[in-house]
């Protein structure tokens, strides 16, 4: 199956950056407004009496409500684009849960899952049709945002219910935790929104270039020679689940496809996170000739922009390296083996016309 068949969105992407700016401003304003009361209580050394705090709470609510509405609208917008970038990749939750998912107890996990899926399917080039999003690695940034958002809600309740009169040490700690978690949740939410926006705008630029090339408006070699690229490289394995456990769970690649074929076989493809084109086809060896190739394939190379980072991560995951990183005229390289014995080169190429 050719990746190029699905690299162009089936519908035109909507521009999103302008609306993102509005959402970011509203969320930042709401985050600041939400900590005004606890900050003043800390400065005054006592809890504000209710009549004094009411106007400030009212202002905070006035800012939080439009921020929440704008964020939900932004989710609809971003999800539309995500489906355009990765067509036929089905998200975990129904569209109605973009609204209903914010009601307890669904609000404890549904919004994070929605944002996770949008993030995963917004990468330029898109995911392969049929990709199981539950097997795609989740973003640490999104996980951090969600944990701080939940913590800020808990600390706000604690601060409101248990802080009274003059502040003792525990009450001061509760107010400080409320302020820090609320501001951190707002900052991380902004980071998530901007990151997804950057991905979708990059995909949109790529889509415009592809459409221009189809209409003859772009040079034949702009953005790839006539749109051609190396689609799949086959690696023979003994067992698909065993191979997925290594290449996805240990090595950290994204699982693009894992589906049954009509003949009873499986079509399993993986690709380095962030890559746009070439993927690995993990083919279960069939017959003596292919079985003899398991663990005996050569010339396999993973390119990276930071070899030290990936070498340390992979070594920590107990991936066996034959040597420490070494420098060659063409770049820095370290050799490791997969569970079948195939030798892979982890390569950080030198920046040159040959390596881009």
pLDDT at 220 over 50: no
Edge-first strand listing for the sheet containing 343-349 = 300-303, 343-349, 331-337, 326-328
**Would you say the C-alpha torsion 217, 122, 231, 327 has a positive or negative sign?**
positive
Choice between 127 and 194, residue whose per-residue pLDDT is larger: 194
Whole-number pLDDT of residue 278: 78
Token representation of residue 334: 């370290």
d(CA 91, CA 344): 33
Query: Does 4 score more than 80 pLDDT?
Result: no
Q: HEC profile for 75-136?
A: HHHHHHHHHHHCCCCCCCCCCCHHHHCCCCCHHHCHHHHHHHHHHHCCCCCCCCCCCCHHHC
Task: Give percent of the chain above pLDDT 90.
Answer: 29
Cα gap 302→275, rounded to integer Å: 11
| 113 phi, psi to nearest 5 deg | -60, -40
Predicted confidence at residue 228, as pLDDT, reads: 56
Residue 289 has pLDDT above 60, yes or no: yes
Query: What is the Cα–Cα distance from 264 to 190, expressed in whole angstroms?
Result: 46
Location of structure tokens 């705008």: 201
Does the reported pTM lie above 0.75? Answer: no
Mean pLDDT across the stretch 13-41?
88
pLDDT band at 186 (very low <50, low <70, confident <90, very high): very high
What's the confidence (pLDDT) of residue 56?
A: 63
353 has a pLDDT exceeding 80: no
Residue 76 CB-half CA count within 13 A? 11
- Tell me the pLDDT band of 62, cut-offs 50, 70 and 90: confident
What the block records as the tokens of 186 is 């707002």
Mean pLDDT lowest among 98-112, 151-165, 328-342? 151-165
Q: How much is the average pLDDT of 108-127?
A: 90
Q: Six-digit token pair at 25?
A: 């401003």
Mean pLDDT over 89-110 rounds to 93
Give residue for tokens 């699905």.
Answer: 6
What does the pLDDT read at residue 165?
A: 61
pLDDT of 76 > 80? The answer is yes
Give the pLDDT of residue 11: 59
Q: In the prediction, which pLDDT does 97 show?
A: 95
Confidence category of residue 49, pLDDT binned at 50, 70, 90: low
Answer with the residue of higher pLDDT: 161 or 16.
16
Strands (E) in the chain, as ranges, are 232-237, 254-260, 266-271, 279-284, 300-303, 326-328, 331-337, 343-349
**What pLDDT, on a 0 to 100 scale, did the predictor assign at position 162?**
67
Task: Specify which of 209-213, 235-239, 298-302 reaches the highest per-range mean pLDDT.
Answer: 235-239
Categorize the per-residue pLDDT at 37 as very low, low, confident or very high, splitting at 50, 70 and 90. confident
How open is the CA angle 288-290-291, to the nearest 5 degrees? 60
Return the higher-pLDDT residue of 207 and 215: 207
Instruction: Provide CB contacts within 8 A for 113, sequence distance 6+.
Output: 92, 93
Tell me the sheet residues that pair with 46.
166
Could you tell me the two tokens for 20?
Answer: 């993102």
Provide the pLDDT for residue 295: 84
Range of lowest pLDDT (13-27, 223-237, 293-307): 223-237
Q: How far is CA 183 from CA 58, 59, 161, 188, 215, in A?
A: 19, 17, 20, 9, 48
DSSP-based helix, strand, coil % in the chain, nearest 5: 55, 15, 35
Nearest to 345 by CA among 329, 332, 333: 333
Give the Cα separation of 148 and 184 in Å (integer).
Answer: 7
């Amino acid at each position: 199956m050719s990746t190029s068949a699905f690299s162009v969105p089936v519908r035109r992407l909507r521009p999103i950056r302008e609306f993102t700016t509005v959402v970011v401003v509203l969320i930042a304003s709401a985050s600041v407004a939400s900590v005004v009361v606890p900050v003043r209580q800390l400065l005054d050394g006592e809890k504000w009496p209710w009549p004094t705090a009411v106007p400030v709470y009212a202002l905070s609510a006035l800012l939080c409500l439009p921020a929440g509405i704008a964020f939900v609208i932004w989710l609809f917008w971003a999800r539309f684009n995500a489906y355009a970038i990765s067509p036929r990749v089905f998200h975990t939750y129904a569209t109605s849960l973009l609204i209903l998912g914010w009601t307890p107890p669904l609000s404890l996990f549904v919004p994070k899952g929605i944002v996770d899926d949008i993030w995963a399917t917004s990468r330029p080039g898109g995911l392969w049709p049929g990709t199981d999003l539950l097997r795609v690695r989740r973003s640490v940034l999104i996980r951090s945002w969600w944990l701080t958002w939940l913590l800020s809600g808990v600390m706000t309740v604690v601060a409101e219910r248990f802080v009274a009169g003059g502040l003792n040490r525990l009450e001061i700690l509760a107010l400080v935790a409320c302020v820090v978690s609320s501001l951190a949740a707002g900052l991380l939410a902004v980071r998530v929104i901007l990151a997804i926006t950057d991905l979708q705008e990059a995909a949109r630029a790529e889509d415009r270039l592809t459409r221009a090339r189809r209409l003859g408006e772009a040079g034949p070699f702009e953005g790839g020679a006539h749109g051609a690229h190396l689609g799949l490289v086959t690696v023979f394995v003994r067992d698909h689940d065993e191979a997925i456990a290594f290449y996805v769970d240990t090595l950290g690649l994204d699982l693009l496809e894992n589906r049954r074929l009509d003949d009873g076989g499986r079509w399993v493809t993986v690709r380095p996170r962030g890559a746009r084109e070439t993927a690995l086809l993990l083919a279960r060896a069939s017959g003596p000739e292919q079985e003899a190739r398991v663990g005996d394939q050569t010339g396999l190379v993973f390119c990276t922009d930071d070899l030290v980072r990936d070498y340390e991560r992979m070594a920590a995951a107990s991936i066996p390296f034959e040597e420490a990183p070494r420098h060659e005229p063409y770049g820095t390289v370290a050799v490791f083996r997969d569970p079948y014995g195939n030798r892979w080169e982890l390569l950080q190429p030198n920046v040159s016309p040959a390596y881009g």
